[in-house]
């Protein structure tokens, strides 16, 4: 494994021209996300995502341009120099260090993984060799880079964060813990200025390569822990896929925060408020402890800093054994021999026992600096499938919270609402029964929420097309079902609030 990283100096016209020629060569050979899928086929492509390279090696036995690039940049295989010259500007690549000469052969110094941007852009994510997919456990061989300093490519967490990030055009964005630079690359599309930080200096160099090779504007790169490298800097958007793993000791910088328990995530959340401009968002992935005798929701609520609204979604919970096993495998500890594996497993459980932790939650945290005296803090569990990207859904969530905060019940009943797009009604009950036991409203987009409603709620939602005020709709329903309209107006606002909060109903201007 090479410890030398390529260079791509955006300030130097000759270096930029060489990077441009490399990008053009990758494109010409269809070394893109689509091209890769077509060449490998879905099973080998999916196997590669599980760090299994054998199917991809079999699919790249030919000597075409794309096979050559996949072998070099994704499978860490040397190729004859003459074969590489047919595809790549080899002299440029040797000059900048993308390739290393080895007798008559050349090999890559880093992994380069084709990646498709949100609008189908062809991008490439650079990472350490053998790290384009999977954790450090997938890396074969040894030597070279100190394992603790490895820089990984795109994982499931990376794409999840990229998907939930709000993409409103902004001035300044911060990617904290940039790693391969994937979040900075996304941010560069809608932020005027991107700052990327990392504790690991190798990550900053690799992030710069990802940006340069993908043709994005360079980011300002700063080395250091958490917010320390940005001083008192403030941003419109902060994103972080931090080293959130709760582990005994910090062995792998890319995942172990090195602070006790979930302290790194808590610190990040608490310090974010001071670095957000008014109206700015901070979005991060996190792990949190479920501690005996404590509600996990209360733990998360206590993290939210003053002046910020928050939306926290727990997507998954693992008991401590599942959790330890997941990260032992990720780190390759299952290959360390049975005794070493057992000792590390034991140490992990000791750590959890000492912290009275029985499970670990994984999820998304979004803060928005609203400056509100009565911040809206939503902490919820939603483990069901969602439709990514969710950036727009996140913005709408906070807009609806603003609306509910400033709207009392009288104003709510005078308000107009529209049923959100692609909401359907399901009736649940015994086959053949005349009346349903209950009615469920289900969203087919975004969070894909489902919620039980009574017949008044279902009828109300069905009529909401923005034309009539909510109170008038309720009066009509009261007449239909023979209920006192005053009582119905009195008891329904909570249900309407819930439907608005969860995005089933959207407030609209009268007559809109
Ligand atoms: C899980 S990786 C995320 C990489 C990338 N942003 C992504 O989304 O795929 C976490 C990154 O945080 C960096 N890191 C670790 N400890 C840090 C700290 N205390 N402060 C800032 N970055 C840190 C690691 O070096 C690593 O690059």
Q: Where residue 51 falls among pLDDT bands split at 50, 70, 90?
A: confident
Residues 367 and 276 sit within 8 Å (Cβ to Cβ): yes
Would you state the pLDDT for residue 142?
35
Among 162, 183, 208, 243, name the best residue to mutate to test ligand 1's pocket (greatest count of ligand atoms within 8 A of Cβ). 243
Distance 221 CA to ligand 1 centre (A): 13
Residues of the chain within CATH 3.40.50.150 domain(s) are 145-317+361-404
CA 253 – ligand 1 centroid, Å: 7
Segment (H or E) for 71? helix 65-73
Whether ligand 1 lies within 6 angstroms of the CB of 179 is answered as yes
Q: Which of 199, 262, 269, 285 to mutate to test the pocket of ligand 1 (most atoms within 8 A of CB)?
A: 199
Question: Which of 126, 131, 177 is the best mutation target for the ligand 1 pocket, counting ligand atoms within 8 Å of the beta carbon and taking the most?
Answer: 177
Angstrom distance (rounded) from CA 91 to CA 88: 9
CA of 206 from ligand 1 middle (Å) equals 12
Q: How many angstroms is it from 257 CA to the middle of ligand 1? A: 8
User: Cα(281) to centroid of ligand 1, in Å?
Assistant: 19
Question: In the prediction, which pLDDT does 132 show?
Answer: 82
Q: For the chain, where do the domains classified as CATH 3.90.930.60 start and end?
A: 407-508
CB neighbour list of residue 354: distance below 8 Å, 6 or more residues apart: none
Q: Which of 208, 200, 277, 209 is nearest to 243 (CA)?
A: 200
Tens digit of each residue's pLDDT (9 = 90 or more) over 326-360: 999 988 888 889 999 999 999 999 999 999 999 99
Res 253: pLDDT? 87
Residue among 147, 148, 180, 198 to mutate when testing ligand 1 (max atoms within 8 A of CB): 198
Q: What is the pLDDT of residue 143?
A: 38
Lowest mean pLDDT among 48-52, 79-83, 158-162, 222-226: 48-52
Cα 391–Cα 393–Cα 394 angle in degrees, nearest 5: 65
The answer, yes or no, to whether any atom of ligand 1 lies below 6 A from the CB of 253, is: yes
C-alpha of residue 426 to centroid of ligand 1, in Å:
43
Res 207 pLDDT > 50? yes
In this predicted structure, which of 237-241, 251-255, 274-278, 480-484 has the lowest mean pLDDT? 251-255
Q: CA 504, CA 21: separation in Å to the nearest integer?
A: 50
Q: How many whole angstroms from 230 Cα to the centroid of ligand 1?
A: 15
In this prediction, residue 140 has a pLDDT band, given cuts at 50, 70 and 90, of: low
CB of 89 shorter than 6 A to ligand 1: no
Mean pLDDT of 125-154: 76
Q: Which 3-state string (H, E, C) describes 82-105? A: HHHHCCCCHHHHHHHCCEEEECCE
Ligand 1 centroid, distance to 247 Cα (angstroms): 15
Residue 404 CB partners (closer than 8 Å, separation 6+)? 376, 497, 500, 501
Position 141 scores a pLDDT of 40
Dmax (CA) of the chain: 90
d(CA 48, CA 69): 15
Question: What does the pLDDT read at residue 251?
Answer: 83
Q: Which of 153, 179, 184, 206 to mutate to test the pocket of ligand 1 (most atoms within 8 A of CB)?
A: 179
Question: What pLDDT sits at residue 212?
Answer: 98
- The mean per-residue pLDDT over the stretch 147-156 comes to 91
Nearest CA to ligand 1 atom 4: 179
Q: Is the pLDDT reported for residue 129 higher than 70?
A: yes
Candidates 94, 85, 96; CA nearest to 212 is: 96
Average pLDDT, the chain: 94
Calculate mean pLDDT across residues 224-243.
98
Alpha-carbon gap, residue 75 to 79, rounded angstroms? 11
Pairing of strands 505-508, 416-419: antiparallel
Q: What number does the ligand 1 atom closest to the CA of 203 have?
A: 27
**pLDDT tier at 27 (50, 70, 90 boundaries)?**
very high
> What pLDDT does residue 438 have?
87
Q: Does residue 249 have a pLDDT over 90?
A: no
CA of 172 to the centre of ligand 1 (A): 19
Contact 174, 195 (CB under 8 A): yes
Q: Distance, CA 409 to ligand 1 centroid (Å)?
A: 45
Residue nearest to atom 6 of ligand 1 (CA): 178
**How much of the chain, in percent, has pLDDT values that exceed 70?**
97
Question: 403-441: per-residue pLDDT in tens?
Answer: 999 999 999 999 999 999 999 999 988 888 878 888 999
Residue 186 has pLDDT above 60, yes or no: yes
Q: How confident is the model at residue 18 (pLDDT cuts 50, 70, 90)?
A: very high
Assigned token pair, 193:
């200025």
End-to-end CA distance of the chain: 62
Q: How far is CA 46 from CA 27, 36, 49, 51, 308, in A?
A: 22, 11, 5, 9, 40
Over the stretch 303-334, which tens digit does the pLDDT of each residue have? Answer: 999 999 999 999 999 999 999 999 999 888 88
CATH architecture, domain defined by 407-508: Alpha-Beta Complex (3.90)
- Residue 503: pLDDT above 50? yes
Q: How many angstroms separate the alpha carbon of residue 270 from the centre of ligand 1?
A: 18
Closest atom of ligand 1 to CA, residue 153: 9
In the reported structure, the alpha carbon of residue 255 is separated from the centroid of ligand 1 by a whole-number distance in angstroms of 7
* Ligand 1 atom closest to the CA of 243, numbered from 1: 10
pLDDT band, residue 285 (cuts 50/70/90):
very high
Under DSSP, is residue 240 helix (H, G, I), strand (E, B) or coil? strand
> What's the length of the chain?
512
Q: What is the best residue among 176, 187, 242, 331 to mutate for testing ligand 1's pocket, by most ligand atoms within 8 Å of CB?
A: 242
- CATH superfamily, domain 145-317+361-404, is Vaccinia Virus protein VP39 (3.40.50.150)
């Amino acid at each position: 494994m090479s410890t030398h990283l390529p260079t791509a100096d955006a300030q130097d016209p000759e270096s930029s021209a060489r990077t441009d020629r490399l990008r053009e060569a990758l494109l010409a050979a269809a070394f893109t996300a689509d091209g890769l899928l077509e060449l490998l086929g879905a099973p080998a492509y999916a196997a590669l995502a599980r760090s299994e390279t054998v199917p991809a090696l079999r699919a790249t036995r030919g000597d075409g341009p794309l096979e050559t690039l996949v072998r070099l940049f994704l499978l860490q295989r040397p190729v004859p120099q003459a074969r590489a010259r047919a595809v790549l500007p080899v002299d440029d690549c040797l000059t900048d260090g993308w390739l290393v000469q080895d007798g008559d052969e050349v090999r890559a110094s880093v992994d380069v993984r084709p990646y498709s941007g949100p609008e189908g852009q062809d991008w490439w994510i650079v990472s350490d060799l053998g790290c384009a997919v999977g954790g450090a456990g997938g890396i074969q061989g040894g030597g070279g880079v100190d394992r603790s300093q490895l820089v990984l490519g795109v994982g499931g967490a990376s794409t999840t964060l990229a998907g939930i990030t709000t993409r409103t055009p902004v001035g300044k964005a911060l990617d904290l813990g940039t790693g391969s630079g994937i979040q900075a690359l996304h941010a560069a599309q809608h932020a005027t200025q991107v700052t990327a930080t990392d504790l690991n200096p190798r990550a900053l160099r690799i992030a710069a390569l990802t940006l340069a090779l993908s043709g994005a504007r360079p980011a300002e790169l700063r080395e250091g822990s958490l917010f320390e490298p940005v001083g008192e800097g403030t941003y419109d958007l902060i994103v972080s896929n931090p080293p959130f793993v709760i582990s005994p000791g910090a062995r792998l910088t890319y995942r172990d925060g090195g602070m006790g328990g979930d302290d790194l995530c808590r610190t990040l959340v608490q310090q974010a408020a001071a670095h957000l401009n008014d109206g700015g968002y901070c979005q991060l992935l996190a792990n949190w402890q479920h501690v005996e005798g404590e509600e996990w929701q209360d733990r998360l609520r206590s993290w939210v800093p003053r002046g910020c609204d928050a939306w926290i979604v727990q997507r998954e919970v693992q008991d401590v054994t599942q959790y330890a096993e997941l990260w032992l495998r990720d780190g390759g500890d299952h290959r360390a021999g049975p005794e070493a594996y057992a000792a590390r497993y034991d140490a992990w459980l000791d750590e959890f026992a000492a912290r009275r932790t029985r499970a670990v939650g994984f999820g998304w945290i979004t803060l928005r600096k609203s400056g509100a005296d009565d911040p809206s803090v939503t902490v919820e569990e939603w483990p069901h499938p969602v439709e990514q990207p969710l950036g727009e859904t996140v913005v709408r969530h906070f807009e609806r919270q603003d609306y509910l905060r400033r709207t009392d019940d009288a104003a709510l009943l005078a308000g107009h609402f529209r049923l959100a797009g692609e909401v359907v009604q399901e009736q649940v009950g015994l086959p053949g029964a005349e009346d349903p036991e209950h009615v469920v409203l289900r969203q087919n987009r975004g969070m894909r929420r489902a919620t039980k409603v009574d017949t008044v709620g279902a009828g109300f939602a069905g009529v909401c097309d923005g034309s009539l005020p909510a109170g008038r709709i309720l009066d009509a329903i009261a007449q239909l079902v023979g209920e006192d309209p005053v009582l119905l107006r009195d008891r329904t606002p909570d249900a309407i609030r819930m439907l608005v909060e969860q995005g089933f109903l959207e407030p609209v201007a009268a007559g809109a």
